[in-house]
Amino acid sequence: MDPIFYAFVILIFVAVVLAVEGVYLWWNSSHGATARRIESRIRVLSAGGHIQRERLTILKDRMLRDSTYIEKLVMSVPRLKSLDLFIQQSGVDWSVTRLVVTSLAIPFVVFAAALVAPVPLRFGAAIALATSGLPYLHVNRKRAKRLAKLERQLPDVADTIGRALRAGHSFPSAIGMISTEFAEPMSGEFRITFDEINYGVPLGDALLNLAKRVPIRDLRYFVIAVLIQRETGGNLAEVLDGIAFLIRERFKLFDKVRVLAAEGKMSAWVLGLLPFVTAGAMMALNREFLAVLWEDPAGLKVVYAMISMMVSGAFWMRRIIKIRV
């Protein structure tokens, strides 16, 4: 065959490879793990630190300058910056605007589906209104799981810092070791603290920022112990060992209580889901049998009373089986 054809095929192959490589590099630089980590750290620093206002002015202005009009409008609402900190604590790659828009869009979609489905208008509106809290519940669940993981990592962090202090390292150097050697999410939080110290933030303010970003009771004890030791002196390594021992013993008691309460939790799930599963099966087998619940006014009253009693019962069962240690 003609050598020009072979050269043309080779050039096309090289062009495709370079195009794929260019798309990969662009995606990795803007949406990769490193880019997401840098963006998360910038948002954390701008969302909720204890640093003086003038140190965050440039960062906040740049954050708002690069935002859209909707983002600026949402961030201007009072108390929504605390919601931004709440999202940061969950570790979810969301913005306040996305959370608000999603919470407003889901009810409209559900209500439109309810208009098509053969259900009463008031019942569909109530369901649509209830679904507006689903995004917040999702973020809250992610936040609870992330904080629980941070709390589980805290005893090892205290032990590592104590061993580093005994080996002759300074406290900021020990924080740097945590930021590089531990797994996420603890390493990310201590990396922010270590960067703040390197940028000139006082150690006390950096630790207070850490306690504000991670609202864990044991971490606050850790921060208070370090701040008191810096004021009064003493053996910080022994204090950290005591904190780690106390946290581990509390975890043992908490796990024991959790095992004892497992039966109550399973009963709550079974009793809560059984009416809906039974109603779904009856709807599939005999639709006319349950139609009276939304066609008759007395049936609607029964449904509303049933839902109210189920919600109150689930609330009280949750209060009974939720034991704080």
**Same-domain pairing of 134 and 150:** no
Mapped onto helix, strand or coil, the DSSP state of residue 29 is helix
Higher pLDDT, 163 or 37: 163
Query: Tokens representing 218?
Result: 């044991």
157 and 231 share a domain?
A: yes
The last residue of one of the domains, among 119, 145, 171, is 145
At residue 67's C-alpha, the angle toward residues 64 and 73, to 5°, is 75
Q: Are residues 131 and 155 located together in one domain of the fold?
A: no
158 shares its domain with 278: no
In this predicted structure, which of 60-69, 302-311, 314-323 has the lowest mean pLDDT? 60-69
Give me the chain's average pLDDT, please: 80
Question: What's the total number of domains in the chain?
Answer: 3
257 shares its domain with 278? yes
Question: Which range marks the domain in which residue 287 is found?
Answer: 251-321
Q: Which tens digit of pLDDT belongs to each residue from 187-211?
A: 989 999 999 999 888 999 999 999 9
Cα 241 from Cα 163, distance rounded (Å): 9
Q: Which of 226, 248, 270 is the last residue of a domain?
A: 248
- Cβ atoms of residues 290 and 282 within 8 Å: yes
Let me know whether 72 and 9 are in one domain: yes
Asked which of 8-12, 78-82, 305-309 is least confident by mean pLDDT, the reply is 78-82
Average pLDDT over residues 91-113: 86
Question: Which of 94, 115, 145 lies at the terminal end of a domain, its last residue?
Answer: 145
Q: Identify whether the C-beta of residue 209 lies closer than 8 Å to the C-beta of residue 51.
A: yes
| Alpha-carbon span 153 to 296, nearest angstrom | 56
For the ranges 51-65, 66-80, 200-214, 280-294, the lowest mean pLDDT is seen at 51-65
Where is mean pLDDT largest: 23-37, 116-130, 150-164? Answer: 150-164
- Sign of CA pseudo-dihedral 74, 77, 80, 81: positive
Answer whether residue 106 shows pLDDT above 60. Answer: yes
The DSSP-derived string for 266-324 is HHHHHHHHHHHHHHHHHHHH-HHHHTHHHHSHHHHHHHHHHHHHHHHHHHHHHHHH---
First and final C-alpha spacing in the chain: 80
15 pLDDT exceeds 70?
Answer: yes
Calpha distance 137→146 (Å, rounded): 14
